[in-house]
């Protein structure tokens, strides 16, 4: 094979045996649930594995208004005719691809009703509007993710749903791995990335501060990308870390003080 034409996989730095588990789940038609904080690499992991396995990937960012019809499909008016248009879940089932439901707990409750037959031995998707019952082929895989830290009484993944999936817990990588990830994604020198990762570690360990979550690896990549593009460190951190983490002036000032201790 001409190496120049070989596709490049989305960069992902494994932290354990998660790639092996994903491949085994895919080989055996088992659904997979990814648990972990925002921006820790769940979506990139799925993108990497889909490309690595050569599978079409249909990603759905779940939200409060996402309904079962959004996943399955609906009739639409096209050129004066009413035609059926498959949703992302139906397309993935038809072609034996991967359907990734990001933050699945945000979706409406009727979504889980649709997912249940796909996550047991039936592996079927019922399309009531067309009368079809699709049986998922061997290559189809359902992957979902959610952030346990954001769960509340109104938005919680029920045990009856959770126990239908294999699960992997994700967290922010260790400093050495995170430096490698941020440097690879931003093209900033590892020596300049190291203080960013050290700052992130301090923020994540803070207690008593009004932060819903610590700084994500994604935000570190944003900051490093700005710095690699020539922006000053303080300006980059203000735009990529301090402002995104909080709107509270006192919290922002506390973060600036922390930045000063690292970069002072």
Of the chain, the percentage scoring pLDDT greater than 90 comes to 80
Query: What mean pLDDT, rounded, does the chain reach?
Result: 91
Q: What is the pLDDT of residues 18-45, one digit of tens each?
A: 999 999 999 999 999 999 988 899 999 9
- What is the mean pLDDT of the segment spanning 226-232? 97
Q: CB–CB of 100/60 below 8 Å?
A: yes
Q: What is the pLDDT of residues 74-129, one digit of tens each?
A: 999 888 899 999 999 999 999 999 999 999 999 998 898 999 999 999 999 999 99
Strands 81-86 and 73-78: antiparallel
Instruction: List the structure tokens of 118.
Output: 């796909």
Q: CB–CB of 47/58 below 8 Å?
A: no
For the chain, how far is it from start to end, CA to CA, in angstroms? 51
Q: What is the pLDDT of residues 149-159, one digit of tens each?
A: 765 545 678 88
Q: CB–CB of 147/12 below 8 Å?
A: no
How far apart, in whole angstroms, are the C-alpha atoms of residue 74 and residue 128? Answer: 10
- What is the mean pLDDT of the segment spanning 174-180? 95
Question: How confident is the model at residue 17, as a pLDDT?
Answer: 94
How far apart, in whole angstroms, are the C-alpha atoms of residue 170 and residue 73? Answer: 31
- What is the mean pLDDT of the segment spanning 202-231? 88
pLDDT band at 7 (very low <50, low <70, confident <90, very high): low
- What is the mean pLDDT of the segment spanning 55-72? 95
Question: How confident is the model at residue 214, as a pLDDT?
Answer: 83
Global pTM? 0.87
Question: How confident is the model at residue 109, as a pLDDT?
Answer: 87
């Amino acid at each position: 094979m001409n190496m120049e034409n070989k596709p490049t996989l989305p960069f992902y730095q494994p932290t354990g045996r998660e790639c092996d588990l994903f491949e085994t789940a895919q080989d055996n038609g088992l659904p997979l649930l990814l648990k972990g904080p925002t921006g820790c690499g769940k979506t990139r992991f799925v993108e990497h594995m889909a490309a690595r396995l050569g599978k079409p990937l249909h990603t759905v960012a779940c939200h409060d208004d996402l309904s079962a019809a959004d996943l399955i499909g609906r009739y639409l008016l096209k050129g004066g005719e009413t035609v059926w248009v498959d949703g992302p879940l139906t397309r993935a089932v038809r072609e034996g691809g991967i359907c990734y439901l990001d933050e699945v707990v945000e979706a409406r409750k009727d979504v889980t009703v649709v997912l249940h037959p796909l996550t047991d031995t039936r592996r079927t998707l019922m399309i009531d509007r067309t009368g079809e019952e699709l049986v998922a082929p061997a290559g189809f895989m359902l992957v979902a993710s959610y952030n346990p830290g954001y769960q509340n009484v109104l938005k919680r993944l029920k045990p009856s749903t959770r126990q239908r999936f294999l699960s992997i817990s994700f967290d922010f990588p260790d400093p050495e791995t995170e430096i490698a990830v941020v440097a690879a994604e931003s093209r900033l020198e590892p020596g300049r990335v190291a203080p960013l990762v050290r700052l992130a570690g301090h923020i994540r360990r803070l207690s008593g501060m009004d932060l819903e979550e610590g700084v994500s690896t994604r935000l570190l990549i944003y900051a490093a990308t700005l710095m690699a593009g020539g922006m000053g460190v303080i300006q980059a951190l203000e735009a990529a870390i301090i402002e995104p983490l909080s709107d509270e002036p006192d919290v922002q000032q506390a973060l600036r003080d922390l930045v000063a201790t690292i970069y002072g």
